[in-house]
Amino acid sequence: MKPVMALVGRPNVGKSTLFNRLTKSRDAIVADFAGLTRDRHYGNAKHGKHEFIVVDTGGFEPTAESGIYMEMAKQTRQAVAEADVVVFVVDARGGLSAQDHDIANYLRKLGKPTVLAANKAEGMTEGVQLSEFYELGLGEVHPVSAAHGQGIRSLVETAFEPLNLPDEEEEAGEVEAGVIKLAVAGRPNVGKSTLINTWLGEERLVAFDLPGTTRDAIAVPFERGGQKYELIDTAGLRRKGKVFEAIEKFSVVKTLQAIESANVVLLLLDATQGVTDQDAHIAGYILESGRAVVIAVNKWDAVDEYQREQLQRQIEARLAFLKFASLHLISAKKRQGLGPVWQSIAQAHKAAMTKMPTPVLTRLLQEAVQFQSPKRSGMFRPKLRYAHQGGMNPPVIVIHGNSLEHVTDAYKRFLEGRFRKEFNLIGTPLRIEMKTSK
Ligand code: GDP
Ligand code: GDP
């Protein structure tokens, strides 16, 4: 699972600026997706060999006792509790405040690996100006400038140093070939545990224990119709003996980790509730993670004709950015509509793992350009020369040429459509990267 970094600190020290800096530019994402909601507080980051989830905890009031502040404090504490490392941000220009001391006390008691970042330190010399922050008793002070991108790499290196992360290659070696890693994601009460228990109760589905795994292992391997799967224990779900149970506390961080470690995510919605903000956020994360996705609307048995129509319109509007995904209307409780979901999961996985040979990609690219060439932008006319595959799950297509920074989003969408059609990419995001030769 990806490690989690939580950013804490009083308001205005630059947490959200740092968050944006850390999570910036998964530049491969095609265009801007209409209707993509981003919860600004959670994001993926990649720096050097470190890939991690960043949580911006917003304001931090460790002593808040009521109302909205208490709610925020609760969420902050949960985020800190779930984090592998905490970055405590202070304001190098504003200096220390009483609140900084409160937060430092809280963090020291917690005993989590904590890194102290003195932000807004551009143009400052380390020694004198930063010495007061040693008072916080959290060890070394790391000068950074979130706004100017200074000191970030060293901050990340320091933060993850004690975690001793396994090399990516080692982890990849553990994945058994041909196994589809599946996560069922959705907010509380949409019916995740009901669905999973219905599945596991089916005769066609054979759950087995892998040697060496314990009863409360975080993944359940099973086989269905000759295909091997691994069901990833998702946020809010825990395996208890043979059945899955919903636990009371929903965790965004655990949802993100589950999504990140899956190949295919089944996004579960609740027909009786419509598409809520939280659903849209989870959907946004799935898209950002690049995982393949299948959407299932559960509790279809409990809504009437009118509600069904409303719902379908709502999905088209609010989840427009997942329109490449198959949509199923199901009832986990009444065991209706479940078979086709499996077909879509397999299809989405196949699409995510598609191999796209360079000659075919290049031919498609040239045909597309012939059919409709990219618009001139001022003095520049983008020249798209050839394409090759840059990755799987999600598939990445890298296009080489000249002046490619002038290719419009509309044109990228046009290309995406052509590639999707040719390779039958149903159920997976597709990323298109442009590489301009000098
Ligand atoms: P948050 O409330 O902790 O999330 O703080 P913000 O990220 O919203 O930043 C608060 C203010 O500090 C904004 O006006 C930012 O532009 C500014 N700021 C953030 N990072 C830096 C920095 O590295 N240097 C300077 N000079 N200003 C910064
Ligand atoms: P989870 O929190 O996502 O795991 O949700 P649960 O599986 O615990 O289900 C929440 C509630 O929805 C329970 O009361 C279930 O009985 C109910 N439920 C689950 N699936 C269905 C369904 O297909 N139809 C109806 N009408 N209710 C369902």
Mutate to test the pocket of ligand 1, among 7, 10, 12, 130 (most ligand atoms within 8 A of CB): 12
User: Which atom of ligand 2 has the smallest separation from the CA of 190?
Assistant: 3
Instruction: Tell me whether residue 38 is in a domain.
Output: yes
CATH of the domain at 424: 3.30.300.20
Contacts of 397 (CB under 8 A, 6+ apart): 356, 361, 387, 388, 389, 390, 419, 430, 431, 432, 433
Instruction: Tell me whether residue 175 is in a domain.
Output: no
The predicted pLDDT at position 361 comes to: 95
pLDDT tens for residues 338-382? 999 999 999 999 999 999 999 999 999 999 999 999 988 888 889
Instruction: State the residue for tokens 């279809």.
Output: 300
Residues 44 and 112 in one domain: yes
User: How many other C-beta atoms are found inside a 10 Å radius of the C-beta of residue 394?
Assistant: 19
17-21, 136-140, 254-258: the lowest-pLDDT one? 254-258
Number of domains in the chain: 3
Instruction: Tell me whether residue 269 is in a domain.
Output: yes
- Which residue minimizes the CA distance to atom 18 of ligand 1? 14
> Does 360 carry a binding-site annotation?
no
Q: Which of 321, 353, 385 is the last residue of a domain?
A: 353
Instruction: Tell me whether residue 114 is in a domain.
Output: yes
Instruction: Tell me whether residue 36 is in a domain.
Output: yes
Ligand 2 within 6 A of CB of 221: no
Q: Which of 163, 188, 215 is the last residue of a domain?
A: 163
Residues 338 and 193 in one domain: yes
Residues 349 and 365 in one domain: no
Mean pLDDT estimate for the chain? 83
Ligand 2 within 6 A of CB of 396: no
Residues 14 and 149 in one domain: yes
The predicted pLDDT at position 367 comes to: 95
Ligand 2 within 6 A of CB of 186: yes
Mutate to test the pocket of ligand 1, among 10, 15, 17 (most ligand atoms within 8 A of CB): 17
- Which residue minimizes the CA distance to atom 6 of ligand 2? 191
Strand partners, 116: 88, 141
> Does 402 carry a binding-site annotation?
no
pLDDT tens for residues 48-102? 888 898 888 866 655 556 555 566 567 777 788 889 999 999 999 999 999 899 8
Q: Which of 337, 353, 369 is the last residue of a domain?
A: 353
Residues 264 and 365 in one domain: no
> Does 186 carry a binding-site annotation?
yes
Q: 206: pLDDT confidence band, cut at 50, 70 and 90? A: low
pLDDT (mean) for 380-399: 94
> Does 251 carry a binding-site annotation?
no
- Which residue minimizes the CA distance to atom 25 of ligand 1? 120
Residues 16 and 80 in one domain: yes
Ligand 1 neighbours by CB, cut-off 6 Å? 9, 11-17, 119-120, 122, 145-148
In which element (H, E) is residue 114 found? Answer: strand 114-119
CATH of the domain at 318: 3.40.50.300
Distances (CA, A) of 327 to 26, 108, 224, 343, 354: 26, 48, 21, 12, 21
The predicted pLDDT at position 14 comes to: 92
Instruction: Tell me whether residue 158 is in a domain.
Output: yes
How far, in Å, is the centroid of ligand 2 from the Cα of 332?
A: 8
> Does 58 carry a binding-site annotation?
yes
pLDDT tens for residues 29-44? 333 444 444 445 788 8
> Does 284 carry a binding-site annotation?
no
Alpha helices in 111-248 (DSSP H): 126-130, 152-160, 168-174, 192-201
The predicted pLDDT at position 425 comes to: 96
How far, in Å, is the centroid of ligand 1 from the Cα of 4?
A: 22
User: Which atom of ligand 2 has the smallest separation from the CA of 336?
Assistant: 23
Instruction: State the residue for tokens 């088209």.
Output: 316
How far, in Å, is the centroid of ligand 2 from the Cα of 189?
A: 6
Residues 156 and 40 in one domain: yes
Residues 299 and 367 in one domain: no
Residues 280 and 411 in one domain: no
User: Which atom of ligand 2 has the smallest separation from the CA of 186?
Assistant: 3
> Does 119 carry a binding-site annotation?
yes
Residues 266 and 395 in one domain: no
Instruction: Tell me whether residue 227 is in a domain.
Output: yes
Residues 262 and 320 in one domain: yes
The predicted pLDDT at position 322 comes to: 92
ipTM: 0.81
Instruction: State the residue for tokens 């419009």.
Output: 408
Task: Domain of residue 243: give its range.
Answer: 180-353
Is the pLDDT reported for residue 384 higher than 70? yes
Task: Please name which of 10, 205, 172, 7 lies closest in space to residue 91, comparing C-alpha atoms.
Answer: 10
Residues 104 and 242 in one domain: no
Question: Which two structure tokens, joined as six digits, stand for 80?
Answer: 């800190």
Ligand 2 within 6 A of CB of 132: no
Is the pLDDT reported for residue 304 higher than 50? yes
Write out 39-105 in H/E/C secondary structure. CCCEEEEEECCEEEEEEECCCCCCCCCCHHHHHHHHHHHHHHHHCCEEEEEEECCCCCCHHHHHHHH
> Does 120 carry a binding-site annotation?
yes
Is the pLDDT reported for residue 395 higher than 70? yes
Instruction: Tell me whether residue 168 is in a domain.
Output: no
